[in-house]
Amino acid sequence: MTEFAPRYLKDYSAPEYQINTVNLEVALNDSATLVTNSMSIQRMVTTNVPLVLDGEHMVLKSVAINGAELSSDDYQVTDSALTIFPNAEQFELTIITELNPSANTALEGLYKSGEAYCTQCEAEGFRRISYFLDRPDVMAIYTTKVIADKSQYPYLLANGNKIDAGELDDDKHFVTWHDPFPKPCYLFALVAGNFDLLTSNYTTRSGRQVALELFVDKGNLSRAEHAMTSLIKSMQWDEQVFDLEYDLDIYMIVAVDFFNMGAMENKGLNVFNSKYVLADDLSATDEDFFNIEAVIAHEYFHNWTGNRVTCRDWFQLSLKEGLTVFRDQQFSGDMNSAAVTRIKNVRTLRSLQFAEDAGPMAHPIRPEKVVEMNNFYTMTVYEKGAEVIRMMHTILGKEGFKAGIDLYFDRHDGQAVTCDDFVAAMSDASNVDLSTFKNWYSQSGTPSLIVTDSFDQSNNQYQISVKQVHPQAHDKQQKQNLHIPINLELLATEAINAEGSTKANVVNELLHLKETEQTWTFSNIDKQPIPVLLGNFSAPVKLEFDYTDEQLLAIMVNASDAFNRWDAGQKLFARYIEMLVNDEATEVPQQVYDAIADILNSGADEALKAEQLTLPSFDEMADSLDKVNADKLANALSRLKINIAAKLTDVLFATYQQCSSTEFAKDGKAIGKRALKNVCLNYLASAKEFDSVVIGQFNNSNNMTDQLAAIKAAALNDLPCFEQVMASFEQQWQDDTLVMDKWFSVNALHNHPDVINRVTKLLSHPKFSLDNPNRARSLIGAFAFSNGKYFHQHDGQGYQFLADQIAKLNTINPQVASRILTPLIQYKSFAKEHQQQMLTQLQRLNDMPNLCRDLQEKLTATLN
């Protein structure tokens, strides 16, 4: 088997050639697209060196230098590169290649999504379109002429502004686009198809008129409005918060059904997974609407953080992704509830990123070694990367952070730069030393903070000591101290028992932990306070402090920070889940139930209450427990849920009814009420007598949030109505691709011993196909990622099912295969009895011939 060679950050060297302009002519054809690529190339080093261009999965038709065609003796071509030997400092290179887009199921480079052509070049897809220096520090100005059949492909799109268009023979036409901004080839895009078009316009703060164009499949126009509104909000927000304006005369978004990820920020021409564009009240949930707004914003924000200033090399990916995720999180917080948005982000981090950071693919937010770049679009680079940016925001303050951003753009607009450049701008603008902080970029693993405290009544002094501990990770890295910002609040204890008292905080400040261990002393403290740490989750770490139940209950009510109030409740839940794992007869004390009832009866915001009532996820618990038996964990989770439902049936049902409304609205209040109502429904549905309530909600719902919540409650609680509501849902939505993805997922969540059979049968459902990533993820991904109980069932059938599908995806779509391998490679978090079964499947995959690079990198990391 070929071992694919890794690349290392330490080996970076500047390109020997630059490509200044690119003139592309793309004549589209399903199996034989012809690409003529004329580049003006400049040598950057003094001596003559060969020019090695990346290229794969295409046929080389011809190569010419300054118009003179080379004979095949004058160049070398392999299955991954074309080497030529130019004898000049400056020259024109013209390369003609032939591509087969209809055979491209990997969805990288040029491919077909349904009837349309589209491209995906990040990270290294341009090399499937033409031979090129496929690296982000080679930035060129592109002119792209697209040619295709006129009636089948009335819209021909590429980056930049339209500069020419016309008719050709044989019912063909062409459109030529010019992008004045130099860009790396990963931002190149081309689309051709027959779409419905939603247009709008936007005038930037400095008066630029921008045409906004959103292309969707025929018949979907009514579902495009929310995406357009979200785009306009994003443009306004970036002007208001960061003084960043859009820079071209047109901004286009195309929604396609076949897409490996969420969306892609190609300059002036974003390509989106239709899941993050299309929405209407009947077919999309509140969560879908939220996510669309966030992804539209994310891709728009990339225009500055990613496109105007890009990455020097792919090891710097977090330069653009961490920063852009931070920006979209701030935007979502401003458009919605900031506290609830933050809680959702933290949940994602704890359930998925912490596990990644503890597993065999653990890497720093700036990785040092990469085999397949597509494997590094990870929770760590994105979500932990955003946490690292957020910590700088916390350390420097809002104004300091903005000054740093301004300096970053002053220095680097139009350049391809590094994470070090970003931190230097942040540090220089405020004159703050970030040298210890920078270790966050090079260190993997989730740190723990071990906290102890003491109170001296004789002199009214309170002391708190915090120690940073770094797990020995899979990568065996030498660990260094980090600069960890810790928001601390000291709650006065007397306030806690006093009837009706609120928020009696005595101290609220930001601690900077930089040493292995530091102690802070507070004077004039009357009584032993309760330390409340990591307000707003000020650092992506785990906290170890011996809180009593009473202290957690006090924090849940009295902490001034909503995240801390929520988190105290999660800690309390996690404590009893863990006890239930160890002893299923554990009695949960009455005061825990009382606290939940108090939350439900309080006047707090419903969206926050919904988060407070949601138990920690299976994944989050699995990460915090050692060598977990999945069955025991799933049972502990369901026991706690059933107990809460049984003890609090009345108040849960009362809340359910109060939050139910016959009228559909989409403001924050209405969304919060739906969230709370559906959390209550899921608790209630753990008792079979609520079957009829679930059926009632299913039949009467006038929106997808409620309808989906009903079938999910039926699935998760294995209610008698399950088959009936699922059949009726399928009947209603069979022709709707995005809604059918939801249906496939709910099938995979069924809390029933026969679920693997069900999922296996669905592989032959007429609407199922492994070729469509959304569909593959909706069934196989949902099962492996979200049905912990049966994915880990003791006979290993869940693992085998997943491995069987990955084996097929290995040749169809390596990126999708590699992503859904995740739950298997984290085998070490599970108990011995699971590990062996998981390893058997990992080994079986590893033994496959023709293992794709993506899978091979992960399997090698896992098995070695």
Q: Which residues bind ligand B3K (CB under 6 A)?
A: 122-123, 261, 263-265, 298-299, 302, 321, 374, 377
Q: Which helix (H) or strand (E) holds 20?
A: strand 17-27
Min CB(737)–Zn ion separation in Å: 24
In the complex with ligand B3K, which residue's Cβ is closer, 378 or 643? 378
Which entry of Zn ion, ligand B3K, none binds 123, CB below 5 to 8 A by partner kind? ligand B3K
Min CB(121)–ligand B3K separation in Å: 9
The DSSP output letter for 628 is B
In the complex with ligand B3K, which residue's Cβ is closer, 122 or 286? 122
Q: Which two tokens stand for residue 4?
A: 């694919």
Nearest Cα neighbor of 19 from 351, 370, 416 is: 416
Q: Which two tokens stand for residue 242?
A: 């960061």
Q: Which two tokens stand for residue 756?
A: 């693997």
**What is the spatial distance between Cα 679 and Cα 600, in angstroms, rounded to a whole number?**
11
**What is the spatial distance between Cα 714 and Cα 147, in angstroms, rounded to a whole number?**
51
In the complex with Zn ion, which residue's Cβ is closer, 93 or 231? 231
Min CB(262)–Zn ion separation in Å: 8
Which entry of ligand B3K, Zn ion, none binds 620, CB below 5 to 8 A by partner kind? none
In the complex with ligand B3K, which residue's Cβ is closer, 492 or 852? 852
Quick check: helix, strand or coil at residue 508?
A: strand
Dihedral sign for Cα 632, 638, 642, 645, please: positive
Which entry of ligand B3K, Zn ion, none binds 505, CB below 5 to 8 A by partner kind? none
Min CB(141)–ligand B3K separation in Å: 21
Are the CB atoms for 378 and 356 separated by under 8 Å? yes
Which residue has the closest beta carbon to ligand B3K? 122
Are the CB atoms for 635 and 628 separated by under 8 Å? no
**113: which strand partners?**
116
In the complex with ligand B3K, which residue's Cβ is closer, 348 or 617? 348
Angle between helices 317-335 and 419-430 (to 10 degrees): 60
Number of H helices, E strands in the chain: 31, 31
Which entry of Zn ion, ligand B3K, none binds 138, CB below 5 to 8 A by partner kind? none
In the complex with Zn ion, which residue's Cβ is closer, 153 or 186? 186
Phi, psi (rounded to 5 degrees) for 383 = -80, -45
Which entry of ligand B3K, Zn ion, none binds 110, CB below 5 to 8 A by partner kind? none
Are the CB atoms for 790 and 829 separated by under 8 Å? no
The DSSP output letter for 174 is E
DSSP string, 286-355: HHHHHHHHHHHHHHHHTTTBTTTBEESSGGGHHHHHHHHHHHHHHHHHHHS-HHHHHHHHHHHIIIIIHH
Which entry of Zn ion, ligand B3K, none binds 634, CB below 5 to 8 A by partner kind? none
In the complex with ligand B3K, which residue's Cβ is closer, 380 or 612? 380
How many CB atoms are closer than 10 A to CB 677? 23
Min CB(861)–ligand B3K separation in Å: 18
Min CB(240)–ligand B3K separation in Å: 22
The catalytic site residues sit at 299
Which entry of ligand B3K, Zn ion, none binds 118, CB below 5 to 8 A by partner kind? none
Min CB(374)–ligand B3K separation in Å: 4
Q: Which helix (H) or strand (E) holds 396?
A: helix 385-412
Min CB(235)–Zn ion separation in Å: 17
Judged on CB neighbours under 10 Å (0-12, 13-18, 19+), 626 is exposed
Site for Zn ion in 317-346 (CB under 5 A): 321, 324
Nearest Cα neighbor of 287 from 302, 276, 298, 273 is: 276
In the complex with ligand B3K, which residue's Cβ is closer, 381 or 530? 381
Phi-psi region of 546 (alpha: psi -120 to 50; beta: other; left: phi over 0): beta
Are the CB atoms for 177 and 187 separated by under 8 Å? no
Min CB(299)–ligand B3K separation in Å: 5
Interface with Zn ion (CB under 5 A), residue total: 2
The DSSP output letter for 499 is T
Site for Zn ion in 293-322 (CB under 5 A): 321
**Beta strands at 109-113 and 369-370: parallel, antiparallel or unpaired:** unpaired
Which entry of ligand B3K, Zn ion, none binds 377, CB below 5 to 8 A by partner kind? ligand B3K
In the complex with ligand B3K, which residue's Cβ is closer, 299 or 606? 299
The residue ranges that bind Zn ion (CB under 5 A) are 321, 324
